[in-house]
Amino acid sequence: MRLAKLAQNAGAAAITLHARAAVDVHSGTPNIEAVGEACAAVDIPVIGNGGVVNAEVAKQFFDAGCAGVMIGRGAIGNPFIFEDIQKELAGQPVEPMSAQKRLEIYLALIRENVAYYGERIGVNRSRKTAGYWISNFPNAAEVRGQFVRLDTLAEIEKLFAQVLISL
């Protein structure tokens, strides 16, 4: 709350507050109440951040007084989160992304990485997000384990083709 007031007094037009302490890193329940206290203490828009992975959490930030939410890790492996949250908050139905669609999008992303960085770097960079994309699949841990040991786009395409057959 004190930092929010300092930022406002220094001329900030808006602030974004992360609802977790640094020691919590990216785990634990976001302290939305503390963000709400900051919202009440300032006259500038406050954007809430931290743990926004669905409309329920986004609504908690809005109910606390936030003018908006910032989504970070929640979008990795789920690029439709923004649209899904908007729909859900508006009371519209949301169709969950199928495992097949998730894998197809991830493969397209890997191909883009390879096209931009070259095969070695592009494949290596893609490993960083495998856990987000390859989740809730049958044998997800095994598939991730195989994926991170692959070195070429062709090997990845072959693995993903096998996974798609099993879905």
Is position 71 within any domain? Answer: yes
Cα separations (Å) of 58 from 4, 20, 52, 68? 20, 15, 6, 8
Residue 157 and residue 119 share a domain: yes
CATH number at residue 58: 3.20.20.70
pLDDT computed for residue 20 by the predictor = 85
Contact 156, 150 (CB under 8 A): yes
pLDDT digits 0-9 by tens, 4-50: 999 999 999 999 999 987 777 677 788 999 999 999 999 999 999 99
Residue 145 and residue 83 share a domain: no
Number of domains into which the chain is organized: 2
Residue 79 and residue 29 share a domain: yes
Is position 125 within any domain? Answer: yes
Is position 94 within any domain? Answer: no
Q: How far apart are CA 133 and CA 76, in angstroms?
A: 7
3-state secondary structure of 49: strand
Is position 79 within any domain? Answer: yes
pLDDT digits 0-9 by tens, 87-145: 999 999 998 888 888 899 999 999 999 999 999 999 999 999 998 898 878 888 999 99
Q: How far apart are CA 94 and CA 142, in angstroms?
A: 29
- Give the other-Cβ count within 10 Å of 158's Cβ: 12
- Domain final residue pick, 32, 54, 89: 89
List the domain range (segments joined by +) for residue 25: 2-89
Type of residue at 46:
V
- Domain final residue pick, 44, 66, 89: 89
